[in-house]
């Protein structure tokens, strides 16, 4: 059983008074957890210490809020808690907290208490409608099952129902039923063969559907009523209609990553009639979708057409006819999330370059300007939820990671911060962060985020690192930019200027801008990086002889291109999970159709062999004069490990340039394991320090030590 007593503390930034719980061991019996806010309350007063630069070890301890859920006068959220190295290799834990009195929170009296704080990762977090219970999934006998716990933390979690293993689950509005997806069972003959040791994989065929099920309370059946409602299709997402008799589903023919990217379409499951029929033929990639309160329309986020790299436009479909129209045809931004406010108005999370806003949109009047509903525009928001009285958002700022904020709709400009996941950040010195706009050589304005080093002063030139996002259908927001792979304040602490550009082909600036790389990979989009060097050098901010570049995936491709085709501009490059030869990357990836439809003008590799070879770093390996660090996982389905391996072998064989390739066993397209995230951060910063720190051109220096120091004791 969970026991708490309350203490009152202040949150940094003047948000008011917070009542945080004092904890004794929880019912989970795993370890004692003290809520981050408690540390502020229990620490004795002391003389303020000078702020110190951020260390890699601190960055590996950063917690952040992942998701938030709004109930009747309460808010529940999950917080990502990095697994300590001492606990062994693995991914992060997920802790669950609740603010049980939202009305008091709006008076700046925030009471926060933990619900689930063990060594686990509960899934499908939700508040059961019409109740004061939080539900979540947890493995029981190897199958993810739905459990519930009271919001006040009293009692132990109890199983809601016995079902097939749950992948994704959502409650019906009355709280008496939930729908969920579950992977179809393995055929009995195949299961027997696998048990006997036959574990072969048949490429593109060895998959099973994610089917949709519904569990419902039934007075005549203590265990409830369970039924499977789809056959022969994969359901990646779904939303209940307000009447509870229909479910909109995002469905694709196969349970493959490529299908989830390019071939999801909206269908309608009628539970009363037992039918499944097309709902809307979204024109390309599909994002979030939601029903209007009257159940007559479905709003969804989609690509503008099948060549659009991102789902970022708002569409409205009539449920009765399937007729759909774009509600944001001229949007110079990106719709990222949405909820209906009433039958005529939608609240949407919209990115405009580096800025995000929660806006009110009128689908019937798409010529009307959107109204900002939350904050002052300085919060980089990643998600939100709402009701008639409040909006709750998750967002970051340059001085902190994702936290929970709540605002009364009557005073939306002044949200109250509910969480402080990393109170120790108040004692860390942070580099100055700002949004900058440079002019590309063709006149196109390129926006990005600049972080200056600690102790920066005008007239002094610093080493410079360009951090290139992946995708390229992605973008940087002006929020917290420090992680194991983005570096952010870790670079500032070591004396670097770092630049996070939303180069052409980035999202957040409309469909046309997002398509500017089509048919021209590493063409003008890469010139945007060269123009940034010119811009900041002309300002006297950076040293041209000490320019580095780093990134992952498409950002790794850019770093590999910099080190080979444009080597004279770069003194160090870090290339993570990169593709280096477009034709072979394309044909060994799990998203070949996405490549074909989105980025390469609907031409297969054999239809443009010369062009694709010319835009591949491998072709220019013999020209590499930039010390190049390549890194990647051995189980990457997106970019085959042979990609960085080929460039490593070519550069090592054809040049005397320092080059190293680091493989992370079992990791995929990015590192999830704590030890490998830590190694990546240490090793990449070591690389930049070796070749960018000090005076003059240091590219001829020998390789840094193979081993890096770890806190193993």
- Per-residue pLDDT of 86-125, as tens digits, reads 999 999 999 999 999 999 999 889 999 999 999 999 999 9
CA dist., res. 315 & res. 355, Å (int): 22
Confidence of residue 25 (pLDDT cuts 50, 70, 90): very low
Residue 324 near residue 316, CB atoms below 8 Å:
yes
Over residues 581-605, the pLDDT tens digits come to 999 999 999 999 999 999 898 999 9
Q: How confident is the model at residue 5 (pLDDT cuts 50, 70, 90)?
A: very low
Name the residue with higher pLDDT: 405 or 414: 405
Evaluate whether 202 touches 193 at the Cβ level (below 8 Å). Answer: no
State yes or no: pLDDT of 411 exceeds 90.
Answer: no
pLDDT attached to residue 377: 82
- C-beta contacts of 80-88 below 8 A and 24+ residues apart: 82/674, 83/119, 83/674, 84/674, 85/60, 85/674, 85/675, 85/678, 85/710, 85/711, 85/712, 87/119
Residue 236 pLDDT: 98
pLDDT at 626 over 90: yes
How would you classify the pairing of strands 572-576 and 210-218? unpaired
pLDDT for 28 beyond 60: no
pLDDT in the model for residue 710: 84
What gap in Å lies between CA 317 and CA 278, rounded to an integer?
A: 11
* Band of residue 368 on the pLDDT scale cut at 50, 70, 90: low
**Mean pLDDT on 290-305:** 97
CA distance linking residue 327 with residue 50, whole number of Å: 52
Q: How does residue 34 score in pLDDT terms, banded at 50, 70 and 90?
A: very low
* pLDDT score of 82 more than 90: yes
* 232-266 pLDDT tens trace: 999 999 999 999 999 999 999 999 999 999 999 99
Query: Which two structure tokens, joined as six digits, stand for 266?
Result: 């909206």
Instruction: Please report, rounded to a whole number, the percentage of residues in the chain having pLDDT higher than 70.
Output: 92
Give the pLDDT of residue 48: 59
Cβ atoms within 10 Å, residue 5: 9
- Read off the pTM: 0.92
pLDDT grade, residue 695 (50/70/90)? confident
Residue 33 confidence (pLDDT) above 80: no
Q: What is the pLDDT of residues 156-186, one digit of tens each?
A: 999 999 999 999 999 999 999 999 999 999 9
Average pLDDT, whole number, for the chain?
A: 91
User: Distance of CA 420 to CAs 35, 61, 114, 405, Å?
Assistant: 9, 14, 14, 10
Sign of the alpha-carbon torsion through 2, 6, 7, 13: positive
Name the strands in the sheet holding 371-372, side by side, starting at the edge strand that comes first in the sequence.
334-342, 345-352, 355-361, 371-372
Cα separation, 515 vs 504, whole angstroms: 8
Tokens at 250, concatenated? 């995002």
DSSP codes of every residue in 176-234: SEEEEEEEPPPPHHHHHHHHTT-----TTT----EEEEEEEEETTEEEEEEEE---SSE
pLDDT value at residue 460:
93
Residue 42: per-residue pLDDT: 35
Using pLDDT thresholds of 50, 70 and 90, give the confidence band for residue 189.
very high
pLDDT of 544 > 90? The answer is yes
What is the radius of gyration, based on Cα positions, of the chain? 26
Position 6 scores a pLDDT of 33
Domains contained in the chain, CATH given: 430-692 (3.40.50.1820)
368 exposed, middle or buried (CB, 10 Å; 0-12, 13-18, 19+)? exposed
Kindly state the helix (H) or strand (E) to which residue 650 belongs, with its residue range: helix 642-654
Identify the pLDDT of residue 49.
Answer: 62
Q: Which of 323-332, 367-376, 448-457, 649-658 has the lowest mean pLDDT?
A: 367-376
Mean of pLDDT values over 461-489: 97
Q: What is the mean pLDDT of residues 484-493?
A: 97
Kindly tell me if the per-residue pLDDT of 16 is higher than 80.
no
């Amino acid at each position: 059983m969970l026991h708490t007593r309350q203490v009152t503390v202040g949150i940094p930034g003047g948000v008011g008074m917070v009542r945080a719980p004092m904890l004794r061991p929880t019912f989970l019996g795993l370890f004692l957890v003290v809520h981050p806010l408690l540390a502020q309350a229990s620490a004795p007063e002391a003389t303020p210490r000078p702020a110190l630069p951020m260390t890699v070890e601190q960055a590996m301890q950063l917690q952040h809020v992942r998701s938030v859920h709004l109930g009747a006068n309460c808010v529940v959220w999950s917080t990502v808690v990095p697994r300590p190295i001492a606990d062994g290799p693995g991914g992060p834990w997920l802790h669950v907290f609740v603010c049980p009195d939202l009305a008091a929170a709006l008076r700046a009296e925030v009471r926060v208490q933990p619900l689930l704080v063990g060594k686990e990762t509960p899934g499908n977090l939700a508040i059961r409608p019409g109740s004061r219970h939080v539900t979540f999934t947890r493995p029981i006998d190897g199958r993810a099952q739905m459990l519930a716990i009271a919001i006040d933390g009293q009692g132990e979690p109890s199983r809601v129902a016995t079902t097939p293993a749950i992948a994704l689950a959502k409650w019906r509005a009355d709280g008496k039923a939930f729908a969920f997806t579950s992977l179809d069972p393995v055929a009995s003959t195949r299961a027997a063969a696998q048990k006997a040791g036959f574990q072969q994989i048949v490429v593109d065929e060895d998959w099973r559907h994610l089917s949709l099920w519904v569990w419902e309370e039934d007075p005549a059946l203590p265990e409830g009523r369970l039924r499977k409602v789809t056959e022969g299709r994969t359901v990646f997402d779904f939303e209940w209609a307000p009447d509870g008799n229909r479910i909109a589903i995002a469905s694709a023919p196969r349970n493959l990553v490529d299908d989830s990217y390019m071939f999801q379409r909206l269908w309608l499951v009628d539970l009363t009639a037992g039918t499944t029929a097309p709902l809307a033929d979204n024109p390309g990639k599909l994002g979030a979708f939601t029903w209007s309160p009257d159940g007559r329309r479905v709003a969804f986020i989609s690509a503008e057409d099948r060549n659009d790299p991102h789902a970022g436009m708002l569409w409205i479909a009539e449920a009765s006819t399937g007729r759909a129209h774009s509600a944001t045809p001229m949007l110079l931004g990106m719709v990222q999330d949405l909820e209906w406010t009433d039958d005529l108005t939608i609240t949407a999370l919209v990115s405009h370059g580096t800025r995000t806003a929660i806006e009110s949109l009128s689908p019937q009047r798409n010529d009307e300007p959107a109204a900002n509903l939350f904050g002052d525009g300085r919060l980089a928001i990643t998600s939100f939820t709402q009701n008639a009285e409040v909006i709750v958002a998750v967002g970051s700022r340059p001085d902190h990671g994702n936290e929970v904020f709540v605002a009364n709709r009557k005073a939306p400009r002044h949200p109250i911060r509910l969480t402080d996941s990393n109170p120790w950040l108040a004692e860390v010195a942070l580099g100055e962060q700002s949004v900058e706009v440079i002019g590309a050589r063709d006149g196109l304005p390129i926006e990005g985020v600049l972080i200056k080093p600690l102790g920066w002063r005008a007239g002094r030139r610093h080493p410079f690192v360009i951090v290139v996002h992946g995708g390229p259908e992605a973008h940087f927001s002006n929020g917290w930019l420090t992680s194991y792979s983005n570096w952010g304040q870790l670079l500032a602490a070591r004396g670097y200027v770092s630049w996070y550009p939303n180069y052409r082909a980035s999202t957040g600036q409309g469909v046309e801008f997002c398509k500017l790389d089509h048919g021209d990979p590493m063409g003008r989009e890469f010139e945007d990086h060269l123009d940034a060097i010119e811009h900041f050098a002309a300002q006297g901010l950076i040293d041209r002889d000490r320019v580095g570049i780093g990134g992952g995936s498409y950002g790794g491709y850019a770093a590999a291109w910099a080190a080979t085709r444009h080597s004279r501009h770069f003194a160090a490059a870090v290339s993570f999970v990169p593709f280096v030869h477009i034709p072979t990357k394309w044909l060994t990836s799990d998203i070949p159709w996405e490549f074909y439809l989105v980025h390469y003008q609907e031409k297969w590799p054999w239809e443009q062999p010369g062009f694709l070879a010319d835009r591949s770093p491998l072709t220019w390996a013999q020209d590499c004069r930039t010390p190049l660090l390549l890194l990647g996982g051995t189980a990457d389905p997106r970019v085959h490990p042979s990609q960085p391996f080929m460039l490593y072998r070519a550069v090592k064989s054809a040049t005397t340039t320092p080059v190293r390739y680091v493989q992370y066993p079992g990791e995929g397209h990015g590192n999830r394991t704590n030890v490998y995230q830590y190694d990546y951060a240490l090793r990449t910063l070591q690389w930049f320090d070796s070749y960018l720190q000090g005076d003059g051109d240091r590219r001829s220096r020998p390789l840094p030590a193979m081993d890096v120091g770890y806190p193993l004791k």
